[in-house]
Amino acid sequence: VPAKPRADDEQAWDLSPPELLAPARFALDMYNYGRAAGMRAVLGAVRGRVRRVGRGSLFSLEATMEEPPCNDPLVCLLPVTKKTMLCSFEVLDELGKHMLLRRDCGPVNTKATEYGNETFSSFLPMLNKDPLPQDFSVKMATVFEDFMKTYNRTYESKEETQWRLTVFTRNMVRAQKIQALDRGTAQYGITKFSDLTEEEFYTIYLNPLLQKEPGRKMSLAKPVDDL
């Protein structure tokens, strides 16, 4: 039972586990999205708070995720141990529809976090505290529909569409943070890559060899003023 009545939009209050079930299950589904059966993490401990945002509720969850042990000796690092991840999620529940706004995960007992997810937190904590506009998820869904039309996107299933909407929403927040930190005149926002996770974008479009391999040594060019 909430410790306080749901009257004050600014107040957050702690939740009992039953109330966390729906948002935590949604966060877990999103965490496991795309994984094969047997490779999915299971929810460990979970605690959370909620605050009212417009017509919805914003859940801030902290949860441990128990990753399955690695069974492939060609892939696993030794010694094989069960890995526990500590995650914080922000899940918006608006009119019964859930949307994952933030996901930061890292191994328990280390400060390392998932690639890129925490990059900005220390710079812009205020962005995580700003209240969300009313009907945020509805507006974001409309923007996402426009994106799909503009870039001719189709997805294989309802689940994938939901997942891409979640990625798109998180990316809009990321673009906003990049914008805030840019010292030039650049504008960041929706591009044809806005429905890709950072990891997908890196894997598909970028070139990791540039930082890993030295390449062939070339002779130095003569400066033009020597010509």
Tokens of 189: 């926002």
Q: Which residues contact 79 (CB under 8 A, 6 or more apart)?
A: none
Instruction: Provide φ and ψ at 117, rounded to 5°.
Output: -65, -30
Q: Judged by CB, which is closer to other proteins: 158, or 216?
A: 216
> Smallest Cα–Cα separation from 82: which of 33, 31, 35, 42?
42
Residue with tokens 């925490």: 118
SS3 (DSSP) at 129: helix
How far apart CA 169 and CA 140 sit, in angstroms, is: 7
- Determine, following the binding rule CB under 8 A, whether residue 175 of this chain makes contact with other proteins: yes
Question: Which residue among 6, 146, 191, 199 contacts other proteins (CB under 8 A)?
Answer: 191
Which of 69, 97, 192, 199 is the binder for other proteins (CB under 8 A)?
192
Question: Rounded to the nearest whole angstrom, what is the least distance from the CB of residue 153 to other proteins in the complex?
Answer: 13
Q: What residues does 62 pair with on adjacent strands?
A: 47, 88
CA–CA distance, 165 with 142 (Å, rounded to integer):
10
Q: Quick check: 194 binds other proteins (CB under 8 A)?
A: yes
Q: Taking a C-beta distance cutoff of 8 angstroms, is the pair 118, 102 a contact? A: no
Choose between 158 and 217: whose C-beta lies nearer to other proteins: 217
With binding defined as CB under 8 A, does residue 189 bind other proteins? yes
Draw the binding track, 114-153, toward other proteins (x: CB under 8 A; -: no contact): -----x---x------------------------------
> Segment near other proteins (CB under 8 A), from 12-20, 70-78, 92-100, 171-179?
171-179
215 binds other proteins (CB under 8 A): yes
Assess 224 for contact with other proteins (CB under 8 A).
yes
Binders in 20-79 for other proteins, by CB under 8 A: none
Q: How far is the CB of 112 from other proteins (least distance, A)?
A: 16
Neighbours of 42 (CB within 10 A): 11
| Choices 40-48, 89-97, 138-146, 187-195 (CB under 8 A): range interacting with other proteins | 187-195
Collapse the DSSP code of 106 into the 3-class scheme (helix H, G, I; strand E, B; otherwise coil) and give the result: strand
**Hey, how many other C-beta atoms are within 10 angstroms of the C-beta on 110?**
8
Q: Does 155 bind other proteins (CB under 8 A)?
A: no
Q: Quick one: which of 7, 78, 112, 218 contacts other proteins (CB under 8 A)?
A: 218
d(CA 199, CA 212): 17
Contact residues toward other proteins (CB under 8 A) are: 119, 123, 171, 174-175, 178, 181-194, 196, 198, 201-202, 204-211, 213, 215-221, 223-225, 227
